[in-house]
Structure 1
Amino acid sequence: MTSVLILEDCKQSAEALGAIIKESKLDLHALFATNYHEAMELLKREENISLFLLDINLDSFEKENKQGLMFAKKIREIPNHAFTPIVFITSTAELELVSYRETQCYSYLVKPYDKNQVLGLLSKLAKKETSTKKEQLTVKKDGVNYRIHIDDIICVEAIPRGVSIYLKEEILNVKYLSIKQLLEKLPREQFLQCHRMFVVNTAYIEYVDTVNQFVKLKGIQKAIEIGITYKSNMRRWMNE
């Protein structure tokens, strides 16, 4: 089950959105926050948020209180949520263009919103999530949960007090996570430990040098050494 984070200070509006989500019968769980700080705590704690419904102005008596827009900008700073759909819900229509430009929001609903419109939007987003979903791994870095597509992991290297995860576009250093712990989360048929310091995604193996005992992977320059005690793992993979 994935989650929808609703940032809305009006209890009645929040409950109405929660009821619509429940009525949709989609595999969604509603999370509620009434202010920026509560929303940030949920963002740090929850791993499977697939949609954000954000009221831009959280105080009808203070027109400059645009905490929803501030929160959306924070969302976009997190690599794991760079493309997670954001839908703004507000009665202040003139903020629409600013919101689209600054946070690349998916859609925009103006209060009072239509239930069928919200249901249609939820259904459309759920189908999009299902069609593009890949198997993912969640790791915690600097107190923030990151979801990584497993297919994007090229290899993993043990470093002091953690691991370096080599991805297609970046290297993610994660503290207090060991090779052994990570292997328990990865599909065994796809990932192979070839050294006490390295685990490789076999889909990225370009070639294996059995004379000099190293593996060359697509996408990274460094050659990965094959450890003495892991030669049998490599031979077994090569003979499959």
Structure 2
Amino acid sequence: MTCIIIDDEDAAIQLLENYIKRTPALSHRCSFQNAVEALRYTKGNAVDLIFLDINMPHLSGLGFLELMENGSKVILTTAYSEYALEGYKYDVVDYLTKPIAFENFLRAVKKAEERMGLGTDVKKPKRSGELDDFIMVKSDRKGKLVKVVFSDIVYIESMRNYVGIYTRQKERIITLLSMKELEERLPKEYFFRTHKTFIVALSQIKMIDGGEIVLQDVKDRVPLGGTYRQSFFERLETKIMKP
């Protein structure tokens, strides 16, 4: 992804430039201390990702977002976290609170990749009927293989030595696969582990009710374990509407 930095602090720019150099997925184009100059640049140059400070003279980061006309993805960088919620009105990918840790920087870049469909470790399911949108699993009967289409999966449950795959057709497919084996094969942007014994299809989530997830096509509720809760809400962050 091509990227630019907009920040009025030299130290902040240097830190981000260093992080970008260490991240193979990013290609740094230029840095700006003046958001007005950056706005002119974006009008004549295609940019995939912008690291944007909020509190700047002449034109603030939020003012920049108001005027920006291209389709660049934006990650906010700010020392003032109270401004971050305003940034989400403009559908920003993420915000990083200064001082920025490299681990948090990488997490935000990964979110940008997912938004743009560029995650190299993700195999996206294709249209139904194409080769990569399903797997064949061994059933509980010897010699029997069952086709499981990714888009049909509602949730998956570990059952000691077995795994149960629950589908939109209200089937339960029992297989000898382990949860780890199955989780590694599923397209990561469409499925998420919410508990040590459960994986859910994100598209099938109807409601989050405290520590439980209500799903679309089944009556069952899936638990949201404390160990997975924070990463689960981070995954859904761009989908959650905030006041």
Q: TM-score, normalised by structure 2?
A: 0.45
Q: TM-score, normalised by structure 1?
A: 0.45
